[in-house]
Structure formats: C-alpha cells, structure tokens
C-alpha cells in the first residue's frame, strides 16, 4: 500500500515545507536503491521513468507493474511519474501503463502552443485521475535525447497565467539548474529572487526543479581516480537547491549524482577485484552507493527525511 495519490504526497510536502525527491529509475537495482533509501529515511519519494528508461526497460507497463509490486514491501509513500513526455501520445501511453503522474514538456514550444498542448494533456489526464506536471522556461543540457543550448529563465507572471489557463497540477521552472550540467568553472548561480517572486505569486503551488543534481567536483574526482574520464561539468550546488526547497520547490529531480556514484562503485570494485565476474558482486555496491546518495539528498537537500514515522502520517 505504498503507492499513493500524488495529491496527498504533495499536500504533505506543502504542509510540512519540504521537497519531494524525484529519482529516475531504469532497473531493479535503481528502483530498490530509491525505495530502500526512502524507507530508511522515513521519506516519501517519486519513482520516475524517463523516455530513455522506457526504451531501456523495453516494456513500460511491465516495468511500472514491477515498481508497484516492489512498493508493496515498503511503508513510506511513493508514486510513479513519467518524466518528459514530448507528445500528448507519449502521455497517453504513460497513463495506459499505469503511471499516476505524467510530465508533459512543451517548454520548447511557443508560449501559446505550450498552453494549448498542455491543456489538452490536462483535460485527458484529469478525466482519469492523473496528475500533470508541465514546464515553462528552458534549461540548458540534455533532456532525454534533445540537447538545448539556450537557457530561458521562467517569467513569473507568465508562469501564473500558464498555471491558471492550463490547470496543470505542478510546474517545472527554469531558475538556473541544468540537465546533466554545463561547461564552467564554478557552481551555476540560482536565481533566488526570481524564484521567490513566482512562489509569492502562487503560494503553496507545487513548483518543480529539473536538473537539480549538483555534480560536486569531489564526486567526479572520485570516479576519475578509479580510471573514469568524466568531464567536470557544473550545476547548481546542493546548498542552492536546499535553499530553493526552503523557498518553495516541492519536487526536485536529481539523477546524475546517483548515476555517478554508482559508476564509481563499479569501477572501484572491478579495479580492486579484477578476477570477479559475477555481476551481482559489483551491482550490489553500485546499488548501495545509489541508495546512500539518495539518502544524502533526502537528509540534507530536500529535508524530506523523518517526515513519515513507521508508515504513519
Ligand atoms: Zn527534466
């Protein structure tokens, strides 16, 4: 009974002023890592599936069914969201597969067209009791398979209008974060003033940050010490994301840090024990590292840890 309605999970986060972590999963290991982290930290979590993961797992509905079955072992609440659906059709497929929430990304479209398409998704989804996240503004970096070089920060007044007209349930805004990091020498600045403005216009509304992993240089260094050649890309710092959560970010997508630490764990294991070829032996430390990183985000960035005691509200 750990799968709950997005409405109630969000309401709890709004009432208790913390952020919900949304973590992309693509395998049993990643799904278990997030769920174990949530249970250990007494935190809710959003289990996400991206277009890339959908391709990787081959059968979306089967994968969603597995998430639901796995969730039954846990007492803290989860819901399943499909990340970045690029078309109305992709949203319909995600809903048919059993996701409780979909993200429709019309951020690359002109404002009026984004409104028109988002509205169509909302109408379709709400009839079926499904939560819809939309996006306004543009983040730099890779979004599944599409690369965007341009950043377009979200205009607070436009965001208000967009939410009122489309009736979307949550809105992803561009305030300085990036999908997967960009080239640079220091952490990216987060536009707190702009974010505060949009929150003030719609207090309590669930605003979402995408690309909110931080790529701490020490995590990249740890991977490269094990033979990795990961580029030192930059994103907003964990301190900035934590401050944004205090201001009003209610859902925070954070992935690349989890991917990075699990890759480091595999590299380290294989460097230290080159004779081992049983995949379980190196996938286990990879899963543990993923879980530890998610727990770290719940404790120090999202402040979602300890919010659910013994499965009770
Ligand atoms: Zn995103």
CA atoms within 13 A on the CB side of 212: 32
Q: Where are the domains of the chain?
A: 6-301
Q: Encode pLDDT of 153-163 as tens digits.
A: 999 999 999 99
What residues have their beta carbon closer than 5 A to ion ligand 1?
Answer: 210
Hey, is 101 helix, strand or coil?
strand
Centre of ligand 1 to C-alpha 312, Å, is 31
Environment class of 200 (CB within 10 Å of its CB; exposed 0-12, middle 13-18, buried 19+): exposed
Centre of ligand 1 to C-alpha 249, Å, is 14
Environment class of 270 (CB within 10 Å of its CB; exposed 0-12, middle 13-18, buried 19+): middle
Centre of ligand 1 to C-alpha 235, Å, is 13
The whole model's pTM is what? 0.95
Q: Which residue is catalytic, options 83, 105, 169, 191? A: 83
Please tell me the predicted confidence (pLDDT) of residue 312.
47
User: What stretches of 186-312 adopt beta strand conformation (E)?
Assistant: 207-209, 249-253
Q: Which residues of the chain have pLDDT under 50?
A: 311-313
Please tell me the predicted confidence (pLDDT) of residue 144.
56
Q: Encode pLDDT of 172-204 as tens digits.
A: 999 999 998 988 889 999 999 999 999 999 999
Please tell me the predicted confidence (pLDDT) of residue 310.
62
Q: What is the rounded distance in angstroms from the CA atom of residue 102 to the CA atom of residue 94?
A: 7
- Fold for 6-301, please state it: TIM Barrel (3.20.20)
Centre of ligand 1 to C-alpha 173, Å, is 10
Centre of ligand 1 to C-alpha 144, Å, is 8
Please tell me the predicted confidence (pLDDT) of residue 151.
81
Tokens of 103: 């993200």
Q: What is the rounded distance in angstroms from the CA atom of residue 219 to the CA atom of residue 216?
A: 5
Is residue 83 annotated as a catalytic residue, yes or no?
Answer: yes
Please tell me the predicted confidence (pLDDT) of residue 147.
57
């Amino acid at each position: 009974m750990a799968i709950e309605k997005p409405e109630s999970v969000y309401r709890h986060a709004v009432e208790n002023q913390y952020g919900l972590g949304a973590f992309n999963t693509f395998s049993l290991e990643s799904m278990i890592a997030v769920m174990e982290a949530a249970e250990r930290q007494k935190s809710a979590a959003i289990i996400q599936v991206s277009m890339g993961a959908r391709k990787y797992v081959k059968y979306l509905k089967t994968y969603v069914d597995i998430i639901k079955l796995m969730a039954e072992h846990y007492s803290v609440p989860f819901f399943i969201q499909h990340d970045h659906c690029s078309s109305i059709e992709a949203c319909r497929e995600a809903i048919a597969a059993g996701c409780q929430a979909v993200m429709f990304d019309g951020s690359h479209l002109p404002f009026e067209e984004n409104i028109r398409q988002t509205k169509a998704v909302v109408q379709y989804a709400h009839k079926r009791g499904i939560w819809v996240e939309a996006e306004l503004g543009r983040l730099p970096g890779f979004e599944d398979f599409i690369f965007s070089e341009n950043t377009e920060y979200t205009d607070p007044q436009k965001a208000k209008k967009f939410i009122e007209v489309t009736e979307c349930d949550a809105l992803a805004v561009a305030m300085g974060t990036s999908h997967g990091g960009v080239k640079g020498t220091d952490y990216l600045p987060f536009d707190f003033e702009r974010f505060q403005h949009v929150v003030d216009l719609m207090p309590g509304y669930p605003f979402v940050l995408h690309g909110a992993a931080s790529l701490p240089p020490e995590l990249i260094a740890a991977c490269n010490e094990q033979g990795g050649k990961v580029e030192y890309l930059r994103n907003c710092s964990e301190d900035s994301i934590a401050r944004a959560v205090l201001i009003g970010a209610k859902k925070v997508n954070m992935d690349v840090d989890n991917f990075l630490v699990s890759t480091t764990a595999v590299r380290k294991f294989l460097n230290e024990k080159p004779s081992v070829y049983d995949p379980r032996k190196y996938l286990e430390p990879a899963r543990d590292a993923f879980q530890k990183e998610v727990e770290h985000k719940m404790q120090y960035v999202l402040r979602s840890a300890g919010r659910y005691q013994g499965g009770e509200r």
